[in-house]
Amino acid sequence: MLRPVSLFFALAALSVATSCGDGGQTSQNRASAPPLTLEEQGRKAFAACAICHSVKDPGAPGYTTMVGPSLFRVAGAPAGHVSSYNYSNAMRESGLIWDDATLDAFIENPQMIVPRSRMAFAGEKNAERRAAIIAYLKTLE
Ligand code: HEC
């Protein structure tokens, strides 16, 4: 009595499997679309930073200070680069210039590079994601 029913399910499963195959084909086609640039990947990864950091010009009308300073034009700037932001003494006195190496080290482990920094972020441990974020930061001119 149960047999025709299980045959039905077997056929249903088979047709699902077949349509999944088609789905795979489609996503393969989609994968051949141009991949995201490093900067675009960084813009996405920056979501983890955007909860605390604006990327807007702090001098522009309507700018509101978030938990952290704006990262507008941070690449190449000295630590504590937003004059209206109340940095920790640790950050202000670090003497760092934000180049590729210092940004990479800070994003990987903020407390290691600037002990007692107020940036409450454990660090981005993935080197590729850090490189993408830094590439994105350099576009903020
Ligand atoms: C929980 C909030 C928070 C998150 C998340 C966060 N930051 Fe920060 N960030 C801060 C604060 C606060 C400071 C100021 C630290 C100080 O004064 O010691 C800061 C400072 C910085 C500075 C130094 C800026 C300057 O003007 O010298 C950089 C660069 C920076 N953050 C990058 C990042 C990046 C990139 C990410 C994401 C991977 C990130 N931050 C995530 C809060 C955050």
Which tens digit of pLDDT belongs to each residue from 15-63? 444 444 444 444 555 667 889 999 999 999 999 999 999 999 999 999 9
Structure tokens at 124: 């981005």
Residue nearest to atom 32 of ligand 1 (CA): 107
Spatial separation of the C-alpha atoms in residues 71 and 81, rounded to whole Å: 9
Q: How far is the CA of 68 from the centre of ligand 1 (A)?
A: 6
- Each residue's pLDDT tens digit, 113-125: 999 999 999 999 9
Q: Is the CB of 79 inside a 6 Å radius of any atom of ligand 1?
A: yes
Q: Token digits for 37? A: 């640039």
Supply 114's token pair: 């600037």
Distance between CA atoms of residues 110 and 74, nearest Å: 16
Q: Are 124 and 107 in contact (CB under 8 A)?
A: yes
**Helix H or strand E segment including 89:** helix 89-92
Does any ligand 1 atom lie closer than 6 A to the CB of residue 69? Answer: yes
By alpha-carbon position, which residue is closest to atom 17 of ligand 1? 87
Ligand 1 touching residue 117 (CB < 6 A): yes
**CB 66 near ligand 1, within 6 Å:** no
The structure's pTM equals 0.82
> Residue 134 in contact with residue 41, Cβ under 8 Å?
no
From residue 128, alpha-carbon distances to 97, 109, 111, 118 in Å are 22, 15, 20, 25
